[in-house]
Amino acid sequence: MLSLLFVGIRLEQQFGFVRIGILYLLSGFGGAVLSALLLKNNISVGASGALFGLLGAMLSELIINWTIYSNRVAALLTLMVIIVINLGIGLFPHVDNFAHIGGFLSGFLLGFVLLIRPQFGWLERDDLPPSAQVTSKYKAYQYVLWVIALLLLIAGFAVGLVMLFRGVNGNDHCHWCHYLNCVPTSRWSCDD
């Protein structure tokens, strides 16, 4: 819930409620699809996949707009620590880490698509003097990341939905994936 307050509000102030609303809903959907593929005998509900989508979007926004930030290494390290701690908590039983991972990946890719910003110093053509040279609104790496993320997002949702509607059990194709959701110890069992 704290990530919704700190991350969600910050992103909404910078990019508007429409972009962040779309990102939030699609991240939640991506988390639900991955969870449904890998947790066949359980029902999972909640907003944690969408919240992880906000964390993923914040990470991709930092990467795609890297040249704009001044304290980028500190911001990157802080965000990575928050993500690792939250994913670590998901290894406890009865926490749907597949929704977290699916939401994070969806939000990460959506961040590249929806949260791209013009580079520092870019001006509209109308605002420039006639003799001034026009610079590109975005850097080349931003275009490349945008295209790759969009293609991966479309492919991921398409494959995930086809697998889901065909009734495929994701654990049949990934025998170690159940350890991403719960790590068995002497204190608890993951079969409950």
Q: In whole angstroms, give the CA distance from residue 32 to residue 43.
A: 10
48 given a catalytic annotation: yes
Question: Is 94 known to be catalytic?
Answer: no
Contact 119, 138 (CB under 8 A): yes
Q: Please tell me which residue in 100, 136, 178, 189 is annotated as part of the active site.
A: 100
Sole residue written with tokens 């001044």:
70
Q: Which of 88, 89, 104 is nearest to 30 (CA)?
A: 104
> Are residues 106 and 153 in contact, defined by beta-carbon separation less than 8 angstroms?
yes
SS (HEC) of 28-96? HHHHHHHHHHHCCCCCCCCCHHHHHHHHHHHHHHHHHCHHHCCCHHHHHHHHHHHHHHHHHHCCCCCCC
Could you say which of 35, 44, 48, 60 is catalytic? 48
How many degrees, rounded to 5, is the angle at CA 146 between CA 142 and CA 152?
145
* Cα separation, 72 vs 70, whole angstroms: 6
Active site residues: 48, 100
